[in-house]
Amino acid sequence: MDDIVKAAMLKWPQVPNCHGWLALGARGQWFMRDDRVQAAGPFPRVLGSRIEHTKLLEFIHRNYACDAAGAWYFQNGPQRVYVDLEVTPHVWRIAVADSGWAVTAHTGTAAQVTDAFVDENGRLFLNTDLGLGLVHSMDSGLAVQALEARAWPVPAIDQLRTVPAAELPQRFGFVLSPRPSA
């Protein structure tokens, strides 16, 4: 977390949390969801405005974390901005074989693969030292090549188990749509 963010948290410890305004899509894209967008429907049915500003994305990535309840958030100065997740808290990008089939989160953080499985829709998930994530749709072919090459310490591609998508949040301890407790 940025030092300036830590200082703001100490200076203003009672800033209320924000819910429903930031979302992470299945391809690692961030979306702002203002009042109008939230009123139009839930995420991901209504996405919101895609964040494309490089410096803002870097700031979000450096300050993206998870609370004890499994709700992911962006620490924006003294305020926690909780994130609605389309699928998982991480979206993995896979590098080609020349780089050792490196796995990197949508935030740019490197990860070490510990398990792999598919859901009932055929989407590929990797569990890592950072937690669970969905393999980016554009990198599915590379991930299959890595599995076939036995590049990661996971079951062989023909032995991957199926885990229903609806079970992922509870099984892996994350919250898809964090909201304030009543």
Residues 71, 9 within the same domain: yes
Question: Is residue 26 located within the same domain as residue 67?
Answer: yes
- On whether residue 178 sits in a domain, the answer given is no
Q: Quote the pTM value.
A: 0.91
Domain for residue 182, yes or no? no
Same domain, 37 and 99: no
Contact 23, 48 (CB under 8 A): yes
Q: Where does a domain end: 20, 54, 87?
A: 87
Instruction: Give the C-alpha separation, 155 to 97, whole Å.
Output: 19
Does 151 lie in the same domain as 113?
yes
Residue 148: domain span: 90-167
Number of domains in the chain: 2
Verify that 94 and 81 share a domain, yes or no. no
Shared domain for 70 and 101, answered yes or no, is no
**Assigned domain for 38 exists:** yes
Residues 37 and 111 grouped into a single domain: no
Residues 22-33: tens digit of each pLDDT: 999 999 999 999
Kindly state whether residues 74 and 99 are assigned to the same domain. no
Q: What is the pLDDT of residue 14?
A: 82
The rounded mean pLDDT for the chain is 93
* pLDDT tens digits for range 59-72: 999 999 999 999 99
